[in-house]
Amino acid sequence: MLKRLFLVAAMLTAAVAAQAGTLESVRQKGFVSCGVNVGLGGFSMPDSKGVWRGLDVDACRAVAASVFGDAEKVRYVPMTATSRFAALQSGEIDILSRNTTFTFLRDATIGLRMVMVNFYDGQGFLVRKDAKIGSLKDLAGGTICMLQGSTHELNLADWMKQHNIDFHIVLLDTTDVLIKTMLSNRCDAASSDSSNLASIRGAGVPNPDDFVILPDRISKEPLGPMVRRADDQWLDVVRWSMMAMVEAEELGVTSANADQMLAESTNPTVQRLLGKSGDFGKLLGLDNAFALNIIKQVGNYGEAYERNVGMGSSLKLDRGPNALWTNGGLMYAIPFR
């Protein structure tokens, strides 16, 4: 009995130690170490001045705003599709925010935890317009190029099995190589998350009008950040930082009106979100103004979407499934109460 109690106590101590983990170490080093894509327009890419921008970058900035009251306190660590998980497991990075798909196996077997979807996507296909291909089935027997270490290979294998259609699959290392191989006519199609293809079509090839994205979507690719397992406090910090951006959009709180809403809004949810009541920040080990800081410095989810991948960006993706649930989409904040 005593031994069992001791064991439980030891496990609890270990759990508490793990919980003290990342938030504390991030505070001590003074920045959030964020694993991002080496360069994917709209998601994570340095601009002409070397400033990182994108929807995945904004997830990192939101967490920095929560922890430090300063969205700039992030160090970006570029990751390839294959290096990303080990970097998070080893503690090299605190968050992996790199157009990463949530799947059962990634959640259950690699010591990591999915936080929250920040972009609902699906696997698509980019083809040359002059090939006059209308759908994936027209490509039967053709060569499809994609990146290794991604979800895409298995998705396509499943699809081929289901439809009894075969393709020749070529696996490549980086997006740059994928684009070059596509441009040299060695692939009939490039396959990836459709947002990825939009970014390649928009900025990766010399003439976007030479390429089209087929209407087929063969998979669900819910993208979002991951953290290490057994660090519930850090998981909460990252999850509720992102949730705050969606809740703010639902409530109509923006970077422009947040201060005014804090001063004037009589809506109890707005008051809790912005830290006027409820002590929600403290409950996460943060300042009660954590969400206010995010909204002022990074914006609500809709602002981040439009600026990075929506109408204010070169990608011009409509909200689609990433619209708020109140507008027929899937973005839905768990209530702040």
Ligand X SMILES: N[C@@H](CCC(=O)N[C@@H](CS)C(=O)NCC(=O)O)C(=O)O
Question: Roughly what angle, to the nearest 10 degrees, separates helices 2-29 and 55-68?
Answer: 100
Task: Say which amino acid occupies 40.
Answer: L
> Is residue 195 at the binding interface for ligand X, with CB under 6 A as the rule?
no
CA distance 188 to 79: 27
Other residues' Cβ atoms within 10 Å of the Cβ of residue 140: 12
Exactly one of 22, 101, 233, 288 binds ligand X (CB under 6 A); that residue is 101
In whole angstroms, the minimum distance from the beta carbon of 188 to ligand X comes to 17
In whole angstroms, the minimum distance from the beta carbon of 37 to ligand X comes to 5
Q: Which is nearer to ligand X, 178 or 261 (CB)?
A: 178
In whole angstroms, the minimum distance from the beta carbon of 190 to ligand X comes to 8
> Is residue 99 at the binding interface for ligand X, with CB under 6 A as the rule?
yes
Q: Which is nearer to ligand X, 69 or 208 (CB)?
A: 208
> Is residue 303 at the binding interface for ligand X, with CB under 6 A as the rule?
no
Task: Say which amino acid occupies 326.
Answer: T
Residues between 207 and 226 with contacts to ligand X, criterion CB under 6 A: 221, 223
> Is residue 44 at the binding interface for ligand X, with CB under 6 A as the rule?
no
> Is residue 155 at the binding interface for ligand X, with CB under 6 A as the rule?
no
CA distance 243 to 75: 22
Long-range contacts of the stretch 138-143 (C-beta < 8 A, 24+): 139/167, 139/188, 139/189, 140/165, 140/166, 140/167, 141/166, 141/167, 141/168, 142/167, 142/168, 142/188, 142/189, 143/167, 143/168, 143/169, 143/170, 143/186, 143/187, 143/188, 143/189
CA distance 138 to 135: 6
Exactly one of 178, 187, 289, 331 binds ligand X (CB under 6 A); that residue is 178
Q: Which is nearer to ligand X, 219 or 233 (CB)?
A: 219
Q: Which stretch binds ligand X (CB under 6 A): 190-198, 271-279, 292-300, 329-337?
A: 190-198
Q: Which is nearer to ligand X, 193 or 247 (CB)?
A: 193
Q: Which stretch binds ligand X (CB under 6 A): 37-45, 55-63, 263-271, 307-315?
A: 37-45
> Is residue 97 at the binding interface for ligand X, with CB under 6 A as the rule?
no
Q: Which is nearer to ligand X, 150 or 313 (CB)?
A: 150
Q: Which is nearer to ligand X, 40 or 289 (CB)?
A: 40
Query: How many residues form the binding site for ligand X (CB under 6 A)?
Result: 19
Q: Which stretch binds ligand X (CB under 6 A): 33-41, 57-65, 211-219, 291-299?
A: 33-41
Q: Which is nearer to ligand X, 225 or 285 (CB)?
A: 225
Q: Rounded to a whole number, what is the distance in angstroms from the first to the last CA of the chain?
A: 40
CA distance 299 to 249: 9
CA distance 86 to 77: 13
Residues between 52 and 91 with contacts to ligand X, criterion CB under 6 A: 80-81
In whole angstroms, the minimum distance from the beta carbon of 300 to ligand X comes to 24
Q: Which is nearer to ligand X, 10 or 177 (CB)?
A: 177
Task: Kindly calculate the radius of gyration of the chain based on its CA atoms and give it in whole angstroms.
Answer: 21
Q: DSSP letter for 334, please.
A: P
Residue 336: phi, psi to the nearest 5?
Answer: -85, 80
Exactly one of 150, 265, 293, 297 binds ligand X (CB under 6 A); that residue is 150
| β-pair type (74-79, 32-37) | parallel
Contact (CB, 8 A) for 193 and 120: no
Q: Which stretch binds ligand X (CB under 6 A): 56-64, 93-101, 133-141, 246-254?
A: 93-101
**Contact footprint for ligand X (CB under 6 A):** 37-38, 40, 80-81, 99-101, 147, 150-151, 174-175, 178, 192-193, 196, 221, 223
